[in-house]
Amino acid sequence: QVRLVQSGAEVKKPGSSVKVSCKASGGTFSNYAISWVRQAPGQGLEWMGGIIPIFGATTYAQKFQGRVTITADTSSSTAHLELSSLRSDDTAVYYCAREIGVGTPPMNGMDVWGQGTTVTVSS
Amino acid sequence: QSVLTQPPSASGTPGQRVTISCSGSSSNIGSNFVFWYQQLPGTAPKLLIYRNNQRPSGVPDRFSGSKSGTSASLAISGLRSEDEANYYCATWDDSLSGWVFGGGTKLTVL
pLDDT (tens digit, 9 = 90+) per residue, B18-72? 999 999 999 999 999 999 999 999 999 999 999 999 999 999 999 999 999 999 9
Contact A105 B32 (CB under 8 A): yes
List the single residue in A with minimal CA-CA distance to B27.
Answer: A105
Nearest chain A CA: its distance from B69 CA (Å): 18
Nearest chain B CA: its distance from A7 CA (Å): 15
Torsions phi, psi of A6, nearest 5?
-100, 160
Provide the pLDDT for residue B30: 97
B91 band by pLDDT with thresholds 50, 70 and 90: very high
Angle at A37 between CA A95 and CA B4, to 5 degrees: 145
Provide the pLDDT for residue A31: 80
List the single residue in A with minimal CA-CA distance to B94.
Answer: A105
Cβ atoms within 10 A of the Cβ of B108, count? 12
Amino acid letter, residue B64: S
Provide the pLDDT for residue A107: 86
Mutate to test the interface with B, among A45, A59, A108, A111 (most CBs of B within 10 A): A45
Q: What is the pLDDT of residues A58-107, one digit of tens each?
A: 999 999 999 999 999 999 999 999 999 999 999 999 999 999 888 888 88
CA–CA distance, A3 with B32 (Å, rounded to integer)? 27
Mean of the pLDDT values across residues A13-19? 98
List the single residue in B with minimal CA-CA distance to A62.
Answer: B96
Provide the pLDDT for residue A26: 85
Nearest chain B CA: its distance from A123 CA (Å): 26
Provide the pLDDT for residue A101: 82
Taking Cα atoms as reference points, which of B19, B17, B30 lies closest to residue B100?
B30
pLDDT above 80: residue B12: yes
Largest CA distance in chain B: 40
Taking Cα atoms as reference points, which of A88, A75, A93 lies closest to residue A24?
A75
Nearest to B92 among A44, A49, A105 (CB): A105
Within 8 A of B37 by CB-CB distance, chain A residues are 45, 110
Cβ atoms within 10 A of the Cβ of A70, count? 24
| % residues pLDDT > 90 (chain A) | 85
Residues of B with CB under 8 A from a CB of A: 2, 32-33, 35, 37, 39, 44-47, 50-51, 56, 86, 88, 90, 92, 94, 96-104
Average pLDDT over chain B, rounded to an integer: 97
> What is the radius of gyration, based on Cα positions, of chain A?
14
Contact A109 B44 (CB under 8 A): no
Contact A107 B47 (CB under 8 A): no
pLDDT above 80: residue A30: no
Within 8 A of A114 by CB-CB distance, chain B residues are 44
Provide the pLDDT for residue A58: 95
List the single residue in B with minimal CA-CA distance to A4.
Answer: B44
